[in-house]
Amino acid sequence: MNETAQKIAQDCLDTAYNMTRSFPEIVSTLIQHGFEGYHIDYMRERAIYFLNDDTSFDLPLHKLEAGVAKKFDIAAVQTAIKEAQQNSEGYTYVGFCKKIMHAGCAGYIVSFLGKRVLYYGRDAETHIEHFPQS
């Protein structure tokens, strides 16, 4: 396993939680270091990172003390995404995670190649959000 890549991913995960780096900054850092994307799995409480060389590894998520609702509420997920994109007053990554989990989001997959995020519910219902165009 690439220890350097694992340290970079852990740093990106930690800085998301403590709000010292934005989503675009995290994406840029991961791409610069050879990542293709990552998968946040709230059901298993894991973050799985995928590298360009077809290797992967996973890291534990920070404990959120929030369960995933049974029904996937796409409108509530979209509202949380919009708050994140606009960096609304009071926004935190932890708050975002809790909101989408309460909205039934079991996880999401970030694809740097596809420039999109796929959010999914326990029933495999999905919502795709494309990266904002700069």
Report in angstroms the alpha-carbon separations of 21 from 13, 68, 79: 9, 26, 21
Q: How far apart are the first and last CA of the chain?
A: 34
Fold of 3-130: YdfO-like fold (3.30.1810)
CA 33 to chain centre: 17
Q: What pLDDT, on the 0 to 100 scale, is given for residue 56?
A: 95
55-84 pLDDT tens trace: 999 999 988 877 899 999 999 999 999 998
pLDDT recorded at residue 1: 53
pTM: 0.92
At residue 65, the pLDDT reads 79
In sequence order, the 6+-apart residues with CB closer than 8 A to the CB of 109 are 37, 38, 39, 40, 117, 118, 120
Residue ranges covered by each domain of the chain:
3-130
